A = this chain, B = another copy of it.
Amino acid sequence: MIKRPTKAAALPSTHAGAERSAPASREEAPASSRAAERRAAIVEAAMEEFIARGFAATRLDDIAKRAGVAKGTIYLHFKDKESMFEELVRTVIVPVVAKLNALPPPTGSVRDLIEAFAGNFLKEVIGTRRGDLVRLIVAEGPRFPSVADFYYREVVSRGIAGMRALIELGIARGEIREKDLARYPQILVAPAMIAVIWQSLFARHAPLDAQDMLRVHLDLIFGERRTT
């Protein structure tokens, strides 16, 4: 349902070819899902290309090729390149939001919760396609206000709010000393964001142990780690 979690992870930078398309389905597809499949293939291909080259430098031709469809087919699903980009971001982000909303209720220590969250982020975002999407949004945001708006509304503001709640809980329970932190949940997330960007840009020069860094950061906030 979530679109195909890790599959096309390869990311060959250039389009490998086009061994996608008509995936033998044929008999298993319930008729109308054919369109959905194709749309998904286009979305996937477009995300790869947009991430690899940015909006302006991406060619519809390459998206089509990678998705295994003809150029014209894209226009059956999207009005034009711009709205494709905008809808694409929405499409990809929605499941993320769903996941955030489905978070378990806060039981156990706040630090445990945040560590779990960080672990998840580490696995699912930093250094993955999803992380690249974040960088893409940072890159194109100013030229696509609607994308930045959407991202702020759906992800950032909720994330900030959630973090703030956790921080306040941590303060109330005495786990967190720095009371002002609740005013800037951004501080809590900042190293994770930096890790995302670092992986895209500098990992080659200086690999970053994001997991360890996040741990140190939590130590800073919660005090020296427990014996674990």
- Residues of chain A touching chain B, judged by Cβ–Cβ distance below 8 Å, are 52-57, 135, 137-143, 148-149, 151-153, 156-157, 178, 180-181, 183-184, 186-187, 189-191, 193-195, 197-198, 200-202, 205-206, 208, 212-213, 216-217, 219-221, 224
Contact = CB atoms under 8 A, between A and B. Distances in A.
A56 B56 CA distance: 6
Given A56-B54, A205-B152, A198 B186 contact: yes
A217 B54 contact: no
Copies held by the complex: 4
B148 A201 contact: yes
A200 B137 CA distance: 11
A60 to B, nearest CB: 14
Nearest to A182: B216
B220 A187 contact: yes
A201 B142 contact: yes
Given A138-B135, A194-B190, A201-B142, A184 B54 contact: no
A184 B216 contact: yes
B219 A180 contact: yes
A79 to B, nearest CB: 16
B178 A219 contact: yes
Given A54-B140, A138-B138, 5 more contacts: A56-B56, A183-B213, A184-B212, A186-B198, A193-B193
A53 B156 CA distance: 23
A57 B143 contact: yes
Contact of A56 (B57, B178, B194, B212): B57
